[in-house]
Amino acid sequence: MKHTDAPTYETLPTRRSDPFRDHVVRAYEDSVEDWQKVIGEQLHFQWGVFGHPDAPRPVSLDEAGLRHLERQLALALDEVGEHTRPERILDLGCGWGATLKHLAQVFPDCSRLDGVNISSVQLAHCAALVRGLEQPDRVRLYLCDVADVSELPDPDQPYDLALARGVITHLPPQVYEAMITALARRMRPGAVLIVSETLYSEEFLAREPHPPEDADPLALGHRKSLRYVTDVLRDGGFRIRDDRVLPSAEDAARWVLELKSNIDVHFPEAASPPLDGIRRMATDLAVTLLRQEASVHSIIAERTR
């Protein structure tokens, strides 16, 4: 870690060649300001929970994204009680930092929160975001492939809580499997992993396994099924404690269509390839979600060995 008065990030070595990693990095090179116009000021980019359409007031993308995160935290931690609140947290694919910031505020006694990302653009924003925390030195950021979490410092101090929200969708299968193997070694028995992922039915995958790379500016081409994702978790030493569709198909469809609407408003003539990719896929994805050929799954897994 560079020695400055404010949090920055450290670059860790990678031991694997993965051409798709560069494709993922390119998906997040747009300016933070452009992304905020599309997904909200707080930059929660993993779906949202809106509630009933007849709610007494509109729910913003920021609030919907935070609701989704809080719902998952409740599912993961409400059972365990105050005496087992996490002391070390790992956020895999920490994005622009919204989740890390929220976790630091929810768990003020947590002594260490680590964030991992392969996008230097996102990590720079994340570093600036956590500077505003009361104890910013608790947060450490790493430019690191998620499959290389074994390279994180302090291997003798395991994590109590890890999150992988919207990360697995970007990973080729072999990288996902390597991530789970490496992650399991860094978590204590009984520790909890929170996963949020867009998954596809077996029938859909048989028909449309993956889009061509030139039609995949968001690097979402490695589509996966619920069975595959949970089988890898079990093989890696995790027990599935809770698995459910969250948010609902209706909320997920609304979320992606709101993103499309924001792109149409703010970039009516031309948008960057990733944002234009959202615009082009939004309607078809909403239909796929409503047909239950795809769904957003919340998976709470417990490290068993």
| Exposed / middle / buried, residue 133 (Cβ in 10 Å: 0-12, 13-18, 19+) | middle
Q: Where are the domains of the chain?
A: 24-303
pLDDT tens per residue, range 51-89: 866 666 678 999 999 999 999 999 998 755 444 689 999
pLDDT band at 3 (very low <50, low <70, confident <90, very high): very low
Q: Judge contact between 126 and 94, C-beta under 8 A.
A: yes
Domain 24-303 belongs to what architecture? 3-Layer(aba) Sandwich (3.40)
Contacts of 294 by beta carbon, 8 Å cutoff, 6+ apart: 198, 199, 200, 201, 204, 285, 288
Listed residue (139, 150, 142, 148) closest to 104, CA to CA: 139
- Size of the chain, expressed as the number of residues it contains: 305
196, 46 contact by CB (below 8 A): yes
pLDDT digits (tens, 9 = 90+) for 19-31: 889 999 999 999 9
pLDDT at 298 over 90: yes
pLDDT bucket at 1, cuts 50 / 70 / 90? very low
Residue range 79-105: average pLDDT?
Answer: 86
Rounded mean pLDDT of 238-253?
A: 97
pTM: 0.94
pLDDT digits (tens, 9 = 90+) for 216-234: 999 999 999 999 999 999 9
Written as six digits, the tokens of 71 are 């719902």
Looking at the chain, the whole-number percentage of residues with pLDDT higher than 70 is 93
Burial of 83 from C-beta contacts in 10 A (0-12 / 13-18 / 19+): exposed
Q: How does pLDDT run across 178-210, given as a tens digit for each residue?
A: 999 999 999 999 999 999 999 999 999 999 888
